[in-house]
Amino acid sequence: MKKILGIFSIIFVFCFLIILPFLIKVKVDCKSQYGICPQQISDKLAPVDGKSLFRARKTIRDILKTEFIVSDYSLQYKIPNILRIDLLVKKPVITFKDTKSGSYVLVDADGKVLSSATDSALPVVNTTKELPKEGQDIGNEELFALNLATGIYQMYQVREFLLQETSLLVELPGRFKVIFPLDGDTRILLGALRLIYSKIQGEGNPSGFSQVDLRFTNPVLR
């Protein structure tokens, strides 16, 4: 008899554990690596509050797999009724500004447009080209300009860039202008700039150079 009762107890516990996710009504707690959950995601997660643990997990996975700003996530149930969501959110590194309309888009290191904006504290690449929409990728030339601009910002904290049809223009401290091509090897271009600019500054610029054009095999100083 004890053996039979033991078997029934195991079966009961097993069945209870199976149906438990359908019985528990959860409250969603969303966090990102920056603390708060992005507004566009928290708005979509709001209707999940009060759903069963089983339904909430499925709905959240369906929502997050379509969110391009989320690179990874984890779900963790916490007793008694909390479903914790930890997001790894993509981070914008630069802003592209449409100088015609004055609109901005925030772009990550891979060239994905994460959001639009009315202003930005990030470095800004000004352009007359039409900006891509949220979730779209910028073009190859824009991505090349992005890599150059982020490199220059890290070296000299310059925040303004101008993207033209065939070049990227930037003015460094000391009113020294640089013209970059929109193809090639960004590391070589940035390395060449560092050598030229540091040499000119170190010597006090006795020749009065005000510009370097890096679009040629041999950089042209003017």
d(CA 188, CA 198): 15
66 belongs to a structural domain: yes
Is 208 found in the same domain as 98? yes
For residue 128, the 8-state DSSP code is: S
Is 181 found in the same domain as 98? yes
Looking at residue 23, what is its pLDDT? 67
More confident residue, 46 or 207: 46
Helices 53-64 + 2-23 axis angle, to 10: 40
- Over the chain, what is the mean pLDDT? 88
Mark which of 89, 104, 134 sits at the end of a domain: 89
Q: What is the pLDDT of residues 11-32, one digit of tens each?
A: 544 454 466 555 678 899 999 9
Omega before 80 cis (within 30°)? yes
Confidence grade of residue 85 (pLDDT, cut at 50, 70, 90): very high
Residue 188 has pLDDT above 80, yes or no: yes
Say what percent of the chain tops pLDDT 90. Answer: 64
Domain that holds residue 130: 92-221
Residue 7 has pLDDT above 60, yes or no: no
Is 145 found in the same domain as 77? no
Is 208 found in the same domain as 99? yes
Mark which of 54, 89, 124 sits at the end of a domain: 89
